Amino acid sequence: MKIALLGPVCWRTPPRHYGPWEQVVSNIAEGLVARGVDVTLFASGDSETAGKLEWICPGAVYDHPELENKVYEYLHIAHCYERAREFDLIHNHYDYMGHVWARLVPTPVLTTIHGFSSPRIHPAYREYNGYVKYVSISDADRLEGLDYMATVYNGIDPARFTFSDRPGDYLVFLGRISAEKGTHLAIEAARQSGMKLIIAGIIQDQPYFDTLVQPFVDGKQIEYIGPIGPDARNELLSNAYALLHLITFREPFGLTMIEAGACGLPVIATPLGSVPEIIKDGLNGLIVPDAAAAAARLPDILKIDRAACRRHVEQYFSLDAMIDGYLNVYKRILTGKEQDSSIR
């Protein structure tokens, strides 16, 4: 089986700090190679993989402002489709832009939909429905009218995460600094509880950061440490008390939640999007309606078995579970058995 994995070129694969789509693509590539699949990863030239790397964009465009994003985006996608006949399947992780070429090649195309940034992009999915095959990353993130082959949850390798069974004395926010990620709500919960909060992640919305985050960053109770890499992430999560994930939007899949769980860290989250599929109240975290409830329920974190948080990830959100899901989808596409096999 020869698989072409078409990933983004926004960040390196795997990313040095932020880049959830790139991280998922890297996990899939390495997991498939470990199972003996012939994988060619189409990514930026500075990417790393145990498979074969194909690139036309020399580096991640967000790390190299001299590279025009749109120019290399289209050159990159075209490079993959120009070689389509070499593969049994193209697995697209580049949003709708990566599958609108599908009718030009004989190779079947599978798109993992990592979320819909706006209803305005829905036509690009509906137009190719039934021709391009679709996988959702959560049951919550499905567009009515599209035919899906399965839901395959994002997975991580738990062995790459440092487990700790001892709760620390600070709270963590990890992710994009933006209103929809609820950074301001994490600050509110921390201030109401009196606990220290460490904020890590890229600033996606500078005006939001300047008005609703920065004024509360004092370097003592509220600390902002910027984007972090895997080693610093593991240390931050494994030594914390809880992860605050008080999102305000229907998140397709929160990778941070399972990274926290792999470290044994319970998650306090609002019940939007995929959250109820990942967090089970009282088992691996707490589901709350708002910041005030998050602050009020912080003592309940001590009732959660941190080893159970780790086991939950190992059972449902591991790299092996994700690769099993995708291999099943690949085989069904290549044998013509394409009905939705999701069982929920």
Confidence of residue 183 (pLDDT cuts 50, 70, 90): very high
Within-domain flag for 53: yes
Give SS3 for 65: coil
Residue 186 sits in the same domain as residue 55: no
Within-domain flag for 284: yes
Q: 68-96 pLDDT, tens per residue? A: 889 999 999 999 999 999 999 999 999 99
Count of beta carbons in the 10 Å neighbourhood of residue 100: 17
- Whole-number average pLDDT of the chain: 95
Residue 343: the pLDDT is: 40
Q: What gap in Å lies between CA 87 and CA 324, rounded to an integer?
A: 20
Residue 98 sits in the same domain as residue 141: yes
Residue with tokens 């470990």: 34
Give SS3 for 200: strand
Confidence of residue 165 (pLDDT cuts 50, 70, 90): very high
Q: Which domain holds residue 210?
A: 158-316
Within-domain flag for 342: no
Within-domain flag for 344: no
Within-domain flag for 340: no
CATH number assigned to the domain comprising residue 254: 3.40.50.2000
Q: Using the 8-state DSSP alphabet, how is residue 130 labeled?
A: T
Residue 333: the pLDDT is: 97
Residue 268 sits in the same domain as residue 171: yes
Residue 220 makes CB contacts below 8 A (sequence gap 6+) with 196
Q: What gap in Å lies between CA 41 and CA 25, rounded to an integer?
A: 9
Q: What residue type is assigned to position 26 of the chain?
A: S
Residue 147 sits in the same domain as residue 230: no
Confidence of residue 238 (pLDDT cuts 50, 70, 90): very high
Q: For 194-200, what is the mean pLDDT?
A: 98
Residue 337: the pLDDT is: 67
Overall domain count for the chain:
2
Residue 52 sits in the same domain as residue 170: no
Q: 2-16 pLDDT, tens per residue? A: 999 999 998 899 998
Residue 196 sits in the same domain as residue 238: yes
Residue 344: the pLDDT is: 39
Residue 65 sits in the same domain as residue 205: no
Within-domain flag for 302: yes
Residue 232: the pLDDT is: 95
Residue 221 sits in the same domain as residue 276: yes
Residue 144 sits in the same domain as residue 162: no
Within-domain flag for 341: no
Residue 139 sits in the same domain as residue 164: no
Q: 319-340 pLDDT, tens per residue? A: 999 999 999 999 999 998 665 5
Residue 57 sits in the same domain as residue 108: yes
Residue 334 has phi, psi (to 5 degrees) of: -75, -15
Q: 22-48 pLDDT, tens per residue? A: 999 999 999 999 999 999 999 999 999
Q: What gap in Å lies between CA 193 and CA 190, rounded to an integer?
A: 5
Which pTM was predicted? 0.92
Q: For 134-152, what is the mean pLDDT?
A: 97
Residue 105 sits in the same domain as residue 187: no
Residue 7: the pLDDT is: 95
